[in-house]
Amino acid sequence: MLLDFNKLGAWKWALSAICAVMSLFLLLPILFIVALSFGSSRWLIFPPPGWTLKWYEELFADPRWIGAALTSAKIGVIVMVISVALGLLASLALVRGTFRGREVLRAFFLTPMVLPVVIVAVALYAAFLRLGLNGTLVGFVIAHVIVALPFAIITITGALETFDPAIEDAAILCGASPWEARLRVTLPGIRHGLFSAAIFSFLISWDEVVLAIFMASPSLQTLPVKVWTTLRQDLTPVIAAASTLLVALTVLLMIAAAVLRKGKSE
């Protein structure tokens, strides 16, 4: 009765109302930023007195914003490649390996996801002070791979677990070497998992704030660090413009992920 939507009676409307209010609560702030980014008021009056593109002009005219976005993209792509490569190898070991303690190893790989990121950030900051890696691209990449890797491993092990190893064995029986079988049979078989892992890894690096604040130097900062330092000074609509572009990118990547899922189910 309670799990049949049409037999709920008045409760059906109560539940639908809660769902609708919660959806608005989640959605409206995002739409609000998008609207503000086109609004003409520097003081973020809503509804805006007029519409303008000047915040976007200001954003694109400032080389620091562009530089930060390029740095973020560069770090994101490198992190994506390393995280998927290491994640694939680690997943092969976890799913296909025959050694003892695979469950312990899996839990170990996931710990960076469980620990508060501020602890990882402070610990890496101390280590990088010694190694001279603070404020370097290498430092950013290492820090972001640490937090992206668990997500890559979860996604790729998930794909590998649903891929029947007998297909790989069949390729080997038909004369392929184990490496040939892995590269030409298993990899294409789990490509959806690999693509999702790549998108996740990129997005995690692209959006990551806490590690980046500790790794950043005045000469090298990512987009979130630039947003963070600007936010601490004032709430300028330029941030609304930057945020809107970030939301647009998120929507595009979500659509890409949805298309991938659809491709998988076909």
Partner 1 sequence: MFSAAAPRRGSGLGFAMPAILLLAAFFVIPVVFLLTRSVTEPQLGLQNYAALVGSSTYAKVFFNTFFVAGVVTLVTVLIAFPVAWALAIMPARWSAVVFAIILLSMWTNLLARTYAWMVLLQQTGLINRMLKAIGLIDQPLQLTNNLVGVTIGMVYIMLPFMILPLLGVIKKIDPAILQAAALCGATKWQALTRVLVPLATPGIASGALMVFVMSLGYFVTPSLLGGTANMMLAELIAQQVQSLVNWGMGGAAAFLLLLVTLGLYAVQLRFLDRKEAA
Segment 149-208, which members bind partner 1 (CB under 8 A)? Answer: 149, 153, 165-166, 168-169, 172-173, 178, 203, 207
C-alpha distance from residue 229 to each of 41, 68, 136, 236 (Å): 22, 12, 18, 12
Return the residues of window 67-86 that contact partner 1 according to CB under 8 A: 86
What is the spatial distance between Cα 53 and Cα 241, in angstroms, rounded to a whole number?
9
**Which CB sits closer to partner 1, 6 or 219?**
6
Q: How far is the CB of 250 from partner 1 (least distance, A)?
A: 5
| Region from 51-59, 61-69, 105-113, 187-195 binding partner 1, contact rule CB under 8 A | 105-113
Binding segment for partner 1 among 8-16, 56-64, 73-81, 186-194 (CB under 8 A)? Answer: 8-16
Count of residues near partner 1 by CB under 8 A: 90
Q: Which of 66, 119, 187, 259 binds partner 1 (CB under 8 A)?
A: 119
DSSP code string of 34-56: HHHHTB--TT--SS-SSB-SHHH
Minimum Å gap between C-beta 191 and partner 1 is 19
Q: Rule CB under 8 A: is residue 118 a binding residue for partner 1?
A: yes
**Could you identify the residue written with the tokens 């839990």?**
107
Q: Please tell me whether residue 51 binds partner 1 under the rule CB under 8 A.
A: no
Closest CA to 215 of 58, 62, 66, 79: 79
User: What one-character-per-residue DSSP string does 53-84 give?
Assistant: SHHHHHHHH-HHHHHHHHHHHHHHHHHHHHHH
217 backbone dihedrals φ, ψ, rounded to 5°? -125, 165
Among 40, 44, 67, 74, binds partner 1 (CB under 8 A): 44
Q: Which of 61, 115, 183, 256 binds partner 1 (CB under 8 A)?
A: 115
